[in-house]
Amino acid sequence: MLWGKLIDHDKCIGCHACSVACKSENEVPLGSFRTWVKQVEKGEGLSARRHFGVLRCNQCEDAPCVSICPTGAMHRLPNGIIDFENEICIGCKACIQACPYDAIYMDPESNTAAKCNFCAHRIEQNLEPACVAACPTGALVVSDLEDPDSPVAKAAARSATSVRKPELGTRPKVFYKGADQSVLDPRAASRPLQGYWGASRGGCGPMQLPVAGESDSIDETPKGSGAPAAARVAYDVPREGAPWGSKISAYLLTKSIGAGAMMAGGLGLLLAGDAPQMKVGLLPALLGFIFLNLTSLFLVADLRRPERFMLLILKGRMESWLVKGAYVLLGAVGLSAIWGIAAVSGWTWTPNAWHAVGLAAVLAGGAAAGYTAFLFGQARGRAFWQSPVLLPHLVIQAVVAGCAALAIGYAVIDTIAPGSTLVLQARLLALGKLMTIGLVVNGLMVMGELSSHSNQDARLASKWISEGPGSNTLFWGVFVLGHIAPIVALTLGLMVPEQGAASTLFAIPIAGGASLVGLFLWDDLYVRAGQVPALS
């Protein structure tokens, strides 16, 4: 048994009986929708038409929401239905980011994810889903796809039916017949701020930008001409526009600082020769421990059900990079703790033992910095995050952030408790050189992130950063403050001879502070821009 659904728009009259029946059957809260009827106006004058699109979960064979779910709250039933369990959902919102069809929402009453599940409780009792039973024209049909004589299987075998976004390879089991492309493709119709039944999705928040036509322009609606767009959304429902926000941006920065401090400190242990720990000090381990723990706190704070966080650790599904990432963070925190205890306790380790710690720190820091690329890769609904350069970019960003934090930390420690000027100079000069290289490479990777996309949604997100609302932050915050100014300050600091004035070397920690601000601004732009394109 493999359930599938046919939505016949040649029969649909846009009466909303399906969405009303769904809300009643499943007690869906006000403002939330498991199924809804999108309406698009197309054409002018006597040729004007209103097209209906019944949208919902597509019950994908290769369901991204199942792959990314850390606890198995989103799961596949033996009959192919993608169902969910409120009791084990931690409210991480990752499934919303993974769904390319905008079909999942956060239930405001339970603070857990929910969506259409074909009314699985009715299917078990040999009843039709509520929407199918309520449809007055028979536009909705469900049947067994494994039976070639069933209505949906027959319809799916014909070229007259289509599925949404087939290029993503999710293999949806909801088939559309007679649906106009303007209701299925979120880029094919402009989104005015007001529809004929009130606020449209375009007016639901700053993330939803009006887009028209097949191009990736931010707004192609003619200005001042009075000419209507070829197609425009007349009615839609509010969805989860930007589920991830400032906490995720902060998580990216703190993770970069902690992981980068471990990588930079570990590299110092590897290259320091004799007495490596004396030359590196306690600070890399301390920063790694503090900031990677802060990273975990930001992740927990972003959950809608933070009290269930331990489900991710104790009963997590290793298929999800949320779970793998949690274990990577725990491992890196444990290593930094061992390193710090060894340094504080004065254990008499041989240089080779410290070199081994250094190698482990570089590897653990790199893993902690880079795993988010795989997590964002599982968020298949967000095309901008599917970047081939994201993994190396996160590692380079962490190197810059770690060096910046270490430079600031060493300078503050020396101010509070002055020590050897030569040791401070050696540390700052080494960090400054590595930070300069990292900033140059990071700047190139930022430009690569903005220009390496072929997908239209990804290009729209890139344009939102480079030409739209994020452009001023990108230029003045990311490039000028976060890259150009630090590189100039670092150049001045590195020009000081080794025996020169220590005060001049403080240009290096100042440059580090500016670069950290720039890195945070980029992280925030990156997280927000990925959620700009409408998915339905």
For residues 88 and 73, is the Cβ–Cβ distance under 8 A? Answer: yes
CA–CA dist 253, 492 (Å, integer): 26
What is the pLDDT, as a whole number, of residue 504?
62
CA–CA dist 518, 536 (Å, integer): 33
Structure token pair of residue 288? 């790694």
Determine the 3-state secondary structure of 468 from DSSP.
Answer: coil
What is the pLDDT, as a whole number, of residue 207?
39
- Give residue 54's identity as a one-letter amino acid code: V
Structure token pair of residue 423? 């040791």
For residues 285 and 340, is the Cβ–Cβ distance under 8 A? Answer: yes
DSSP conformational letter for 533: S
Strands 3-8 and 140-144: antiparallel
How many C-alpha atoms does 264 have within 13 Å on its Cβ side? 36
For residues 331 and 364, is the Cβ–Cβ distance under 8 A? Answer: yes
> For the chain (length 536 residues), average pLDDT per consecutive 10?
94 95 95 93 87 96 97 96 97 97 95 97 96 97 95 86 93 95 89 59 41 38 43 84 93 98 96 84 96 97 96 94 97 97 84 93 98 98 94 98 96 84 86 96 96 88 95 98 95 66 75 97 97 92
- Give residue 28's identity as a one-letter amino acid code: V
Structure token pair of residue 483? 């890259």
Q: Please state, in angstroms and as integers, the Cα–Cα distance from residue 161 to each residue in 38, 59, 146, 156, 350, following that order.
A: 19, 16, 17, 6, 70
CA–CA dist 431, 45 (Å, integer): 68
Give which of 190, 243, 184 is closest to 12, Cα–Cα: 184
Q: Please state, in angstroms and as integers, the Cα–Cα distance from residue 382 to each residue in 176, 376, 457, 473, following that order.
A: 23, 8, 8, 22
What is the pLDDT, as a whole number, of residue 480?
98
- Give residue 533's identity as a one-letter amino acid code: P
CA–CA dist 423, 410 (Å, integer): 10
* Alpha-helix residue ranges (DSSP H) falling in 350-484: 351-378, 390-416, 421-451, 456-466, 471-472
Q: Tabulate helix, strand, coil % of the chain (nearest 5).
A: 55, 10, 35
- Give residue 23's identity as a one-letter amino acid code: K
Give which of 473, 465, 456 is closest to 533, Cα–Cα: 456
Query: In sequence order, what are the residues at sequence separation of 6 or more whose Cβ sits closer than 8 angstroms to the Cβ of residue 472?
Result: none
Element (H, E) at 266: helix 246-271
Determine the 3-state secondary structure of 112 from DSSP.
Answer: coil
Determine the 3-state secondary structure of 434 from DSSP.
Answer: helix
Residue with tokens 């209701």: 183
